[in-house]
């Protein structure tokens, strides 16, 4: 067990955990931020996607000891303004993307990171950026459309 | 099984949240709390919810809550079923709060997610519940104002009496309404008068989903809750011999390591009691990562099983079943299945004289199709929360049909039925996997043993290697063709390990004077269960691939050939038990033909495949366009026609069909669970292939036949016909007919 000072969703937090504990389980078990999901534990499905300094990262593959001072953002932390949802979340609602909904927070985290680095992605760029996120219900077409819509709405 | 005390559980969860929370909880939601924030949630706790008809609760300050009785795993029943209630209740839909009902099947009459039955089973009861409540509210107004019911109108949850200019909202009337006797007769609206049903409505739980709120079993926490995982044998055909937990118990945070038996000796398993292994090792500790690490330190010895007798409950009572010893493999399964196809089997249906027709045939077309085991892989791994005390057995369970688990829980955990209290968590996918609730019993055993609330978690590997799978199947189709290119007989033999896929009364039964359907199955120690459209998902691929090749052999357009056969079956049906309606089948194909521009020059030049199937009371047909992308065949576009009766929520329905199409393409091209020496070769999603973003089509056009037939299901019916549509299009694209799934493997593209 060791103590770690983390910066999660803009807040400094202290956790005590084994240094090898993946960030995923620190978020879920220690910090009760359950929007980050466990899907495979081997970085193959994307359900656990969070941002590390704004970049998409599979939290199941990242030991808490490797996080250091890097800013961690989870789905709970991407709200646009105090009351407003993030434009990507809004697009998700407008296009009624979800079925079971389990993978969608990971999908949204990948999409937000994509639009941050590439505000106007082509279809191929979306496919490439999102291909690490599995949706077992098969909502891929709506996910893609929602990303395109969010890209458009941010341009306005 | 009593109505659970929502408030209490909710408060204990709230407490945990505030103790450990540190992130930004933008909202709060645990079943009851489809409400924007904690303050409102806490406030509503204090209100008196007045219950009307079991499905509706209203507060004096006019909050209206509708219960969804059916477990939700993504088919959107949390929206579509409450829509049915509200169509007749006529509350303000935009303000209605939807809540997942706890397990209380007597109250809700039916809590069944499976078999695409939700819409059909709910259609009249839920509208009746809404209409009854509306009548009670109107009666309360009528009594209070001393005016006749016939002079009252209702709009968005407000009862009005125009002549006296009186009005009252439902909240103001609810208490009085709840004390009135239920009306004896309730009239339901005609479909033409619907204002909500048939209109596209967004997911009522959408905000909670995109906000990452606590919705799923894996997210649930209780005070003092421990994490549990199990260790199961490394292969089917193996069992636990002994184990040493010394090192594991030294690991930090570990509370207990022990073995336990899931079902008692002699317990007669009912249909949904399937489980892979009966003796497991449990590892229990404070946190998931600690338990995962300690689990690796348990040293277990395994031994091969002998032929094992188990009792099963079947129609007609208990019978014995032998689980065969041995380490099975896919290679062996394929060899055995091909051998079995040549042996005498059970005749399931025979019309006319197929033997003579085949003897007199000018040409015979014979083709054999196979498909591998498949794993469901719902995105949320298997989990269950259990807290068993002397007084009650509390569960948070992701389970499709809770009532089907009652006897199992009662018998194997020594619990009285009335002690069971079960919250039905939103499920992160199911596809049939969560019809089999052995994990509820496992979690119950562990909680009893450690005398604490526990959350049992399976890893992805646990579920993939210890699973319940879609069986492996084989089917041979044979057609007798005369000198004029008429098909004179069809012969089909279907078999599988350990279940046959054959539906002998499905199309093309009923078309041909001479028809023979045969079936066999072979026991196995690999555990199987329902997988999105069980049996149909393979049947359709074989039948619709064969009919495509048969159309080509007799020189006919494949889509027209299907319509021609159905017209024949309609005009002159052969046999009595044909389980499809030829008219509705034809209408779907005609709609598909129109919407896909089938027959146009562009269509003829495209690499297109067609397929159609009827199952679970709905009709589905697809046209699939294949192109090449990065040297791989790629399904670029799909046009779908469906008849599922009246479409309750067109937005949700379209989403469901799109998902089924994507799922079908993925499984047709990549889906495969291989067994070697009794163990699955694929152990996680890095090598069990599920379709991904760039492999999904660019476009899926979904069209529904517009009719007023009572609604039927959608979760399953669009799935089975995708496989053959893909195979038939791949044939056009590559010149190669495909017979063995997954098709990319047969094409040598994997």
Q: A101, B289: Cβ pair inside 8 Å?
A: no
User: Do the Cβ atoms of A42 and B686 come within 8 Å?
Assistant: yes
Q: Do A8 and B661 touch (CB under 8 A)?
A: no
**A38: closest chain B residue by CA:** B380
Tokens linked to B286: 């404070």
Residue B200 in this model has a pLDDT that exceeds 50: yes
Residue to test with chain B: of A51, A90, A100, most B Cβ within 10 A? A100
Q: What average pLDDT does the segment A76-93 reach?
A: 86
**Closest CB to B23 among A9, A127, A139:** A9
> What per-residue confidence (pLDDT) applies to A154?
79
Residue B269 tokens read as: 């398993």
Chain A residue closest in CA terms to B37: A83
Residues of chain A positioned with their CB less than 8 A from the CB of B72: 100
Inter-chain CB proximity A134 and B213 less than 8 Å: no
User: Which residues, other chains included, contact B189 with Cβ-Cβ below 8 Å and sequence gap of 6+?
Assistant: B87, B88, B127, B131
Given a contact cutoff of 8 angstroms between Cβ atoms, the answer to whether B688 and B590 are in contact is no
Please report the pLDDT score of residue B28 as a whole number. 27
Cβ separation A126–B427 shorter than 8 A:
no
pLDDT for A81 equals: 60
Q: Where does A1-155 have alpha helices with state H?
A: 23-25, 87-94, 104-117, 123-130, 140-155
User: Mutation test of the interface with chain B: which of A141, A143, A149, choosing the one with the most B Cβ atoms within 10 A?
Assistant: A141
SS3 readout for B396-455:
EECCCCHHHHHHHHHHHHCCCHHHEEEEECECCCCCCHHHCCHHHHHHHHHHHHHCCCEE
Average of per-residue pLDDT values in chain B: 92
Select from 2.30.110.10, 1.10.150.120, 3.40.50.300, 1.10.3720.10 the CATH code of A87-155: 1.10.150.120
- Closest by CA to B399, choosing from B70, B76, B717, is B70
Question: What mean pLDDT do residues A32-36 have?
Answer: 97
Cα B86 from Cα B131, distance rounded (Å): 8
Nearest residue on chain B to A7, alpha-carbon basis: B23
Say whether B494 sits in a helix, a strand or coil. Answer: strand
> Is B428 in Cβ contact with A37 (below 8 Å)?
yes
Q: Taking CB atoms and an 8 Å cutoff, what residues of chain A touch B380?
A: 37, 39, 100, 102
Confidence of residue B603 (pLDDT cuts 50, 70, 90): confident
Give pLDDT tens digits for A41-71.
999 999 999 999 999 999 999 999 999 999 9
Interval B121-133 mean pLDDT: 94
Closest residue, chain A, to B426 (C-alpha): A100
CB-CB: which of B26, B216, B696 is closest to A141? B696
What residues in A contact B699, CB-CB < 8 Å?
A: 141
Under DSSP, is residue B240 helix (H, G, I), strand (E, B) or coil? strand
Nearest neighbour of B215 by CB, restricted to A96, A101, A140: A101
Q: Which one, of B210, B207, B221, B212, lies nearest residue A36 by Cα?
A: B212
CATH class assigned to B223-309+382-457: alpha beta
Residue of A47, A79, A93 lying closest to B206 (CB–CB): A93
Confidence band (pLDDT; 50, 70, 90) for B605?
Answer: confident
A29 chain-B contacts, CB cut-off 8 A: 227, 287-289
CB atoms within 10 A of CB B311: 15
Q: Quickly state the pLDDT bin for B561 (edges 50, 70, 90).
A: very high
DSSP E strand boundaries for B630-682: 632-643, 675-676, 679-680
DSSP state of B329: -
CATH dotted code for B47-192: 3.30.365.10
**DSSP strands (E only) in B286-425:** 299-304, 308-314, 317-323, 346-351, 363-371, 374-375, 383-388, 393-397, 420-424
Question: What CA–CA distances, in Å, run from B247 to B259, B267, B293, B294, B487?
Answer: 16, 34, 11, 8, 69
Q: How does pLDDT run across B504-520, given as a tens digit for each residue?
A: 999 999 999 999 999 99
Which pLDDT tens digit goes with each residue over B666-691?
999 999 999 999 999 999 999 999 99
CA B377 to CA B386: how far, in whole Å?
23
* Range list for CATH 1.10.150.120 in chain A: 87-155
Instruction: Give A-chain residues touching B685 at CB under 8 angstroms.
Output: 39-40, 42, 44-45, 134
pLDDT digits (tens, 9 = 90+) for B391-433: 999 999 999 999 999 999 999 999 999 999 999 999 999 999 9
pLDDT level of residue B118 (50, 70, 90 thresholds): confident
pLDDT on residue B60: 92
Closest chain B CA to residue A128? B694
Q: How far is B14 from chain A (nearest CA, A)?
A: 11
- B469-746 and B223-309+382-457 share a CATH fold: yes
E strands present in B13-165: 50-52, 56-58, 64-68, 97-100, 152-155, 158-161
Tell whether omega for the bond before A19 is within 30 degrees of 0, i.e. cis: no
pLDDT at residue number B30: 29
CB B51 within 8 A of CB B83: no
The fraction of chain B above a pLDDT of 90, given in percent, is 88
Domain ranges of chain B: 47-192, 223-309+382-457, 469-746
* Residues above pLDDT 70, as percent of chain B: 94
Q: For residue B429, which residues of chain A lie inside 8 Å, CB to CB?
A: 99-100, 102, 136-137
Which of B73, B100, B214, B379 to mutate to test binding with chain A, by most A CBs within 10 Å of its CB? B379
Structure confidence at residue A80 (pLDDT): 63
Quick one: closest CA in B to A40, which residue? B460
Q: Is the per-residue pLDDT at B25 higher than 50?
A: no
What is the pLDDT, as a whole number, of residue B19? 23
Residue B516 burial (CB count, 10 A): 23
Contact A96 B652 (CB under 8 A): yes
**HSE-up of A72 (CA within 13 Å, CB side)?**
31
Pick from B217, B222, B225, B289 the residue to mutate for testing the A interface (most A CBs within 10 Å).
Answer: B289
Residues in chain B closer than 8 A to A95 (CB atoms): none
Whether A25 and B252 lie within 8 Å, measured CB to CB:
no
Which residues in chain A have their CB less than 8 angstroms from residue B457's CB? 38
Check residue B116 and give its pLDDT: 82
Q: Which fold has domain B469-746?
A: Aldehyde Oxidoreductase; domain 4 (3.30.365)
pLDDT at B330: 98
Is pLDDT at B346 greater than 60 in this prediction? yes
Count Cβ atoms below 10 Å from residue B624 Cβ, excluding itself: 34
Asked if residue B665 lies in contact with residue B730, where contact means CB atoms within 8 angstroms, the answer is: no
- Residues forming CATH 3.10.20.30 domain(s) in chain A: 2-77
Chain B residues with CB-CB distance to A102 below 8 A: 216, 378-380, 428-429
pLDDT for res A54: 95
Q: What is the mean pLDDT of residues A141-155?
A: 94
Specify the pLDDT at position A156: 61
Question: Mind listing the pLDDT tens digit for each residue in B234-263?
Answer: 999 999 999 999 999 999 999 999 999 999
8 Å CB contact of B74 and A137: yes
Q: What architecture is the A2-77 domain classified under in CATH?
A: Roll (3.10)
Taking CB atoms and an 8 Å cutoff, what residues of chain A touch B209? 98, 101, 104-105
pLDDT classification of B461: cutoffs 50, 70, 90: very high
Q: Which of A17, A68, A22 is nearest to A42 (CA)?
A: A22
pTM attached to this predicted model: 0.94
Contact between chains at A76 and B697 (C-beta distance less than 8 A)? no
pLDDT bucket at B38, cuts 50 / 70 / 90? very low
Cβ of B212 within 8 Å of Cβ of A34? The answer is yes
Q: What is the dihedral of CA B113, B540, B516, B618, to 10 degrees?
A: 50
* Residue B320 backbone class (left: φ over 0; alpha: ψ -120 to 50; beta: rest): beta
In chain B, residues with a C-beta closer than 8 Å to the C-beta of A136 are 377-379, 429, 431, 663, 690
| B49 vs A114 pLDDT, higher one | A114
Residues B44-89 pLDDT 10s: 445 678 888 889 999 999 999 999 999 999 999 999 999 999 999 9
Give yes or no for a contact between A129 and A110, defined as CB atoms under 8 angstroms apart.
Answer: yes
Tell me how far CA of residue B670 lies from CA of A46, B270, B664, B746, in angstroms. 19, 32, 10, 10
Residue B230 has pLDDT above 70, yes or no: yes
Nearest to A104 among B73, B210, B697 (CB): B210
């Amino acid at each position: 067990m060791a103590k770690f000072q983390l910066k999660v969703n803009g807040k400094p937090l202290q956790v005590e955990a084994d240094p090898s504990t993946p960030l995923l389980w620190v978020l879920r078990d220690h910090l009760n931020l359950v929007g980050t999901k466990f899907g495979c534990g081997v970085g193959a499905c994307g359900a656990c996607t969070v941002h590390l300094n704004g970049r998409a990262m599979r939290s199941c593959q990242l030991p808490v000891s490797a996080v250091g001072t890097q800013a961690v953002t989870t789905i709970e932390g991407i709200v646009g303004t105090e009351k407003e949802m993030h434009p990507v979340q809004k697009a998700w609602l407008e296009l009624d993307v979800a079925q079971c909904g389990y993978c969608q927070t990971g999908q949204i985290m990948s999409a937000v990171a994509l639009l941050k680095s590439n505000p106007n992605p082509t279809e191929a760029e979306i496919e490439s950026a999102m291909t690490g996120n599995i949706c077992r219900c098969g909502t891929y077409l709506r996910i893609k459309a929602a990303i395109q819509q969010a890209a458009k709405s941010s341009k306005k | 099984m009593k109505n659970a005390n929502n408030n209490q559980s909710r408060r204990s969860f709230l407490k945990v949240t505030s103790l450990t929370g540190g992130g930004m909880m933008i909202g709060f939601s645990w079943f009851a709390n489809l409400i924007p924030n904690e303050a409102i949630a806490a406030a509503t706790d204090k209100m008196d919810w007045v219950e009307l008809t079991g499905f509706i609760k209203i507060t004096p300050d006019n909050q209206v809550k509708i219960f969804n009785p059916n477990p939700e795993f993504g088919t959107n029943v949390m929206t579509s079923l409450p829509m049915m209630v509200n169509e007749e209740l006529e509350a303000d839909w935009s303000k209605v709060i939807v809540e997942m009902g706890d397990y209380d099947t007597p109250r809700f009459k039916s809590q069944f997610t499976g078999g695409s039955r939700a819409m059909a089973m709910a259609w009249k009861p839920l509208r009746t519940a809404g209409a009854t409540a509306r009548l009670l509210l109107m009666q309360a107004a009528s009594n209070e104002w001393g005016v006749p019911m016939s002079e009252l109108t209702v709009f968005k949850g407000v009862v009005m009496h125009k002549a006296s200019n009186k009005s009252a909202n439902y909240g103001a009337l609810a208490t009085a309404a709840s004390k009135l006797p239920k009306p004896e007769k309730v009239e339901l609206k005609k479909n033409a008068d619907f204002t909500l049903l048939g209109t596209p409505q967004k997911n009522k739980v959408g905000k909670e989903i995109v906000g990452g709120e606590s919705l799923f079993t894996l997210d649930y926490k209780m005070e003092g809750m421990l994490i549990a995982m199990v260790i199961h044998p490394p292969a089917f055909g193996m069992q636990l011999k002994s184990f040493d937990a010394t090192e594991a118990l030294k690991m930090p945070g570990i509370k207990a390591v022990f073995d336990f038996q899931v079902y008692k000796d002699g317990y007669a398993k009912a249909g949904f009691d399937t489980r892979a292994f009966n003796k497991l090792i449990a590892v229990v500790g404070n946190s998931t990562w600690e338990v995962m690490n300690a689990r690796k330190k348990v040293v277990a010895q395994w031994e091969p099983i002998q032929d094992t007798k188990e009792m099963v409950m079947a129609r007609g009572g208990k019978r014995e079943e032998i689980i065969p010893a041995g380490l099975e493999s896919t290679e062996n399964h394929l060899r055995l299945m091909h051998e079995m196809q040549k042996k005498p089997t059970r005749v399931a249906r025979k019309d006319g004289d197929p033997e003579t027709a085949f003897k007199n045939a000018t040409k015979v077309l014979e083709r054999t199709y196979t498909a591998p085991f498949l794993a469901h892989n719902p995105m949320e791994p298997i989990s269950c929360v259990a807290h068993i005390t002397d007084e009650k057995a509390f569960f948070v369970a992701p389970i499709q049909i809770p009532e089907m688990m009652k006897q199992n829980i009662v018998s194997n955990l020594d619990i009285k039925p009335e002690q069971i209290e079960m919250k039905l968590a939103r499920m992160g996918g199911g596809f049939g996997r969560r019809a089999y609730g052995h994990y509820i019993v496992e979690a119950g055993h562990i909680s009893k043993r450690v005398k604490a609330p526990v959350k049992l978690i399976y890893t992805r590997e646990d579920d993939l290697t210890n699973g319940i799978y879609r069986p492996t199947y084989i089917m041979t189709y044979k057609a007798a063709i005369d000198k004029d290119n008429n098909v004179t007989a069809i012969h089909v033999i279907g078999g599988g390990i350990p279940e046959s896929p054959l539906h002998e009364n499905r199309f093309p039964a009923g078309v041909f004077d001479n028809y023979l359907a045969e079936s066999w199955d072979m026991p196995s120690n690999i555990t199987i269960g329902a997988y999105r459209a069980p049996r149909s998902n393979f049947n359709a691929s074989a039948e619709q691939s064969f009919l495509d090749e048969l159309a080509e052999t007799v020189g006919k357009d494949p889509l027209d050939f299907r319509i021609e056969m159905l017209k024949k079956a309609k005009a002159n049906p052969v046999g009595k038990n044909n389980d499809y309606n030829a008219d509705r089948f034809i209408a779907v194909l005609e709609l598909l033909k129109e919407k896909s521009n089938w027959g146009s020059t562009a269509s003829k030049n495209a690499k297109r495949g067609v397929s159609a199937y009827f199952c679970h009371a709905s009709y589905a047909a697809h046209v699939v366009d294949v192109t090449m992308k990065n040297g791989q065949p790629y399904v670029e576009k799909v046009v779908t026609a469906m008849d599922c009766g009246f479409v309750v929520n067109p937005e949700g329905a379209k989403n469901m069909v799109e998902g089924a199409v994507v799922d079908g393409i993925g499984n047709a091209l990549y889906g495969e669970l291989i067994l070697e020496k009794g163990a699955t070769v694929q152990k996680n999603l890095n090598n069990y292939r599920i379709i991904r973003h760039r492999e999904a089509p660019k476009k899926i056009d979904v069209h529904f036949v517009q009719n007023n037939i009572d609604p039927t299901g959608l979760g399953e019916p669009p799935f089975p016909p995708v496989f053959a549509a893909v195979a038939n299009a791949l044939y056009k694209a590559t010149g190669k007919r495909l017979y063995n799934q997954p098709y990319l493997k047969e094409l040598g593209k994997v």
